[in-house]
Amino acid sequence: MTLRKFSNLLVTVLLLSTSFSSQAVVELVPAPPKINAKAFMLLDYNSGRILAESNIEKRIEPASLTKLMTTYAVLYELRNGSIKLDDEVKISEKAWRMKGSRMFVEVNSKVTVKKLMMGMIVQSGNDATVALAEHTAGSEDSFVTLMNKHAMNLGMVSTNFENSTGWPHKNHYTTVRDLSILAGAIIKEFPKHYQWYRVKEYTYNKITQRNRNMLLWQDERVDGMKTGHTDSAGYCLITSAKQKNMRLISIVTGSNSERGRARASRKLINYGFRFYETFLYHNTDEPFTEAKVWKGETDVLPLGLTEPLFITTPRGMKDKVTNTVVMNEETLTAPISKGSRYGQLHIKLGDKIIAKRHLVAMQDITSGGMFSRIIDYFLMLF
């Protein structure tokens, strides 16, 4: 064999090797199911990875999905102690006169905050919702101001509320992306009260009403969250489902029927659980890496994460995940404060970055003695 033929053969082998290596990290996942809705999203709750989406930045009317923010704002005040679950709320005429879905509270009667919460979450009662808003902030108008402040704090930058119930208004809007932030915040911040979203029916004043979320009866993985409907918004449903250690959140808006939104949501959930898996990549209790520190009392800085890092990959590709540490600067000089950012962790599947997280100092490092600082000064020169 001539040298030229051998060289050509070697190049061919290397190219084939590279090709096979690339194929090994191709995400062998089918396209998401076709969904009959104006906008939808499927994401993993722990990793935040979006698995399917359409029009998630498009402005939509949230209808009774609005009540998720009402719930969040009330739970926030309960946690702060400004109101209590056993507070008795006097029902105003405004609350009593609310149209649409109702809990059927009576004007001037007194109903506890907890019962009103169940009436809002399970029965989607507009009367219960307004009563809670008035009790929490003094008036519904003041409560709406609170809702919008919470939205901004959560990063819901494309949302504006005009009422607590989701009653149609031209300036009452949100996006599917913003709704995913809100749903995740309720699950994360109020896990105990989130359990109320799985209640299938609630009885008040001898009137029993069923939760409109059909999937609570059809799929044992589903444990929440909220339905919504107006003529202009269509049929909407935010669903949260858990299988083993994996939790998915699906959002379907603008569907054409109650059954249609349930079918679409179940399609998305089945797709996510069938073709993806989520695992804990690194926790917060151990350093991910270490960095050299100059002029400090110690010369090693442990770098870690502020929150557990979960990764979502196609099933069977967990072992294909790699990482790269990118430091902000070449030299780290004391003093260093715990929590300060000094780099980034890039998680890759093949050549694609699927997650990024800041690497932060896991401890304080004070300046070293004068002698050690002088030594490090001269060492740094070289």
Active site residues: 64, 67, 124
User: In this structure, which long-range contacts are made by residues 238-244, counting pairs with CB atoms below 8 Å and at least 24 apart in sequence?
Assistant: 238/65, 238/68, 238/179, 238/183, 239/213, 239/215, 239/265, 239/269, 240/45, 240/183, 240/187, 240/197, 241/215, 241/269, 241/273, 243/273
The Cα angle at residue 134 between residues 129 and 136, in degrees rounded to 5: 95
Could you write out the three-class secondary structure of 232-272?
CCEEEEEEEEEECCEEEEEEEEEECCHHHHHHHHHHHHHHH
User: In this structure, which long-range contacts are made by residues 206-212, counting pairs with CB atoms below 8 Å and at least 24 apart in sequence?
Assistant: 207/104, 209/103, 209/122, 209/123, 211/122, 211/123, 212/124, 212/258
